[in-house]
Amino acid sequence: MCGIVGYVGLHEEDAVPFLLEGLKKLEYRGYDSAGLSICKEGQLINRRAVGKLRALEANVSDNPLSSHIGIAHTRWATHGKPNERNCHPITSETIAVVHNGIIENFADLKDNLKQQGYVFYSDTDTEVITAILSKSLEQGHDIESAFSELRKSIQGHYSLAFIYSHEPDTIYVTRQGCPLCLGKAEGGVMIASDAMALELRARNVCYLEDGDYAVITKDNIRICDNANNCVTRHYHAISHLHKPSDKGNYRHYMLKEIHEQPEIVNQVLGKYIYQPDKKINLPELSFNPKDISHIVLCGCGTAYYAALIAKYWLEKYAKITVSVEVGSELRYTDMPFKKDMVGVFISQSGETLDTLSAMRKFKENGVKTLTIVNVPQSTIMREADTVLEIYAGQEIGVASTKAMMCQLVTLALFAIQMGVLRDIITPSYSEQLIDELYLVPRLINKALQNEGDIANFAKKMSKKDNIIFVGRHIAYPLALEGALKLKEISYIHAEGYIAGELKHGPLALLDEETPVVAIAPQSIAYEKTMSNISEAVSRGCELIFLSDTDVKDEFTNNVIFSIKMPKRRQMSLYICLFYN
- Give me the residues that bind ligand M6R (CB under 6 A), please: 300-303, 347-349, 352, 355, 398-400, 484, 488
- The DSSP code sequence of 403-422 is HHHHHHHHHHHHHHHHHHHT
Measured from the CB atom, the residue of 16 and 296 that comes closer to ligand M6R is 296
Beta bridge partner(s), residue 389: 373
Q: How far is the CB of 551 from ligand M6R (least distance, A)?
A: 29
Q: How far is the CB of 408 from ligand M6R (least distance, A)?
A: 13
Q: How far is the CB of 100 from ligand M6R (least distance, A)?
A: 15
Q: How far is the CB of 366 from ligand M6R (least distance, A)?
A: 24
Q: What type of residue sits at position 482?
A: G
Query: Rounded CA gap, 359 and 355, in Å?
Result: 6
CB within 8 A of 477, min separation 6: which ones? 305, 306, 308, 309, 471
Query: Rounded CA gap, 560 and 539, in Å?
Result: 15
Question: 568: buried, middle or exposed (CB in 10 Å: 19+, 13-18, 0-12)?
Answer: middle
Q: How far is the CB of 525 from ligand M6R (least distance, A)?
A: 25
Q: How far is the CB of 494 from ligand M6R (least distance, A)?
A: 13
Element (H, E) at 102: strand 95-103
Helix (H, G, I), strand (E, B) or coil at 212: coil
Nearest 5°: phi and psi at 147?
A: -65, -40
Measured from the CB atom, the residue of 170 and 400 that comes closer to ligand M6R is 400
Measured from the CB atom, the residue of 389 and 436 that comes closer to ligand M6R is 389
Measured from the CB atom, the residue of 92 and 379 that comes closer to ligand M6R is 379
26: left (phi > 0), else alpha (psi -120 to 50), else beta? Answer: alpha
Question: 284: buried, middle or exposed (CB in 10 Å: 19+, 13-18, 0-12)?
Answer: exposed
Measured from the CB atom, the residue of 151 and 363 that comes closer to ligand M6R is 363
> Among 291, 293, 294, 268, which Cα is nearest to 281's?
268
| Position of minimal CB gap to ligand M6R | 301
CB within 8 A of 112, min separation 6: which ones? none
Query: Rounded CA gap, 262 and 269, in Å?
Result: 11
Q: How far is the CB of 517 from ligand M6R (least distance, A)?
A: 17
Query: Rounded CA gap, 397 and 285, in Å?
Result: 31
Q: How far is the CB of 329 from ligand M6R (least distance, A)?
A: 14
Measured from the CB atom, the residue of 87 and 406 that comes closer to ligand M6R is 406
Measured from the CB atom, the residue of 32 and 169 that comes closer to ligand M6R is 32
Measured from the CB atom, the residue of 110 and 360 that comes closer to ligand M6R is 360
Measured from the CB atom, the residue of 295 and 300 that comes closer to ligand M6R is 300
Q: How far is the CB of 481 from ligand M6R (least distance, A)?
A: 8
